[in-house]
Amino acid sequence: MSAEPENFEALRKLLALKRHETPPPGYFDQFAGEVRARLRSGEHEKDDLWRDLGDEASWLQRLWGTLTNRPALAGAFGMLLCGAVLTAGIHYSSVSDADAKSQSLAQGLSLPAPAGAPAQLALGEAPPVNTTSSTNPVMSAAPAGLFDQIPGQAKEVNFSPVAGSQ
């Protein structure tokens, strides 16, 4: 026999010998019983989700297989995932900060006016300091304007140069 590229007779004979590879004696006598036992135990029902994931969503398995076979790709995928999580976290925190600020501003504007005070506070006017409570955020007690927190300790002075000092 020759081993020419298109004469596969020897190869076919060799491959046919694989038919002689057989499982241990008695294996097939028990096989059907084991399948039946697994069906009876309801084991297959518990595994339904995983089986469906494996069989129907084979893309997930392919992705997993690709990642396990290529560590570099797995690392890049992990970094991408971390980046996405960080970006989402930063975005969420900035959105929630903006929300908190607008909420505090809205609360500052809609506080009930104390007795004797004007009905509505003008923008930039500090709300009463003692309005902070467990239901009002601390932010609402903060002054609305940057310079409003300077205590009113400034006194008018009359500066007149002393005669003869120059």
Partner 1 sequence: MSDAKPANVGGEPSGDPAVSDELELIKRARNADLAAYDDLVRRYQQRIYATIYHMTSNHEDANDLAQDTFIKAYQALKSFKGGSSFYTWVYRIAVNKTINFLKQRKNRVQMSLNDMDFNAEHDPDMVALVSENTPRREAGLSELQEKLNEAMQKLSEVHRLVVTLHDVQGLPHEEIAQIMDCNVGTVRSRLFYARQQMQGYLVDYLKD
Residues that bind partner 1 in the complex, under the rule CB under 8 A = 1-3, 5, 8, 10-24, 27-28, 31-36, 38-40, 44, 48, 51, 54-55, 58, 61-62, 64-65, 68-69
- Closest approach, Cβ 26 to partner 1, in A, equals 13
User: CA angle 108-114-119, nearest 5°?
Assistant: 70
SS3 state at 102: helix
Select 50 or 159, whichever has its Cβ closest to partner 1.
Answer: 50
- Closest approach, Cβ 73 to partner 1, in A, equals 14
Location of structure tokens 């300790």: 153
Contact 54, 61 (CB under 8 A): yes
Select 24 or 151, whichever has its Cβ closest to partner 1.
Answer: 24
Q: Which of 24, 25, 51 is nearest to 38 (CA)?
A: 51
Select 16 or 163, whichever has its Cβ closest to partner 1.
Answer: 16
- Closest approach, Cβ 75 to partner 1, in A, equals 17
- Return the amino acid letter for 29: D
- Closest approach, Cβ 74 to partner 1, in A, equals 14
- Return the amino acid letter for 92: Y
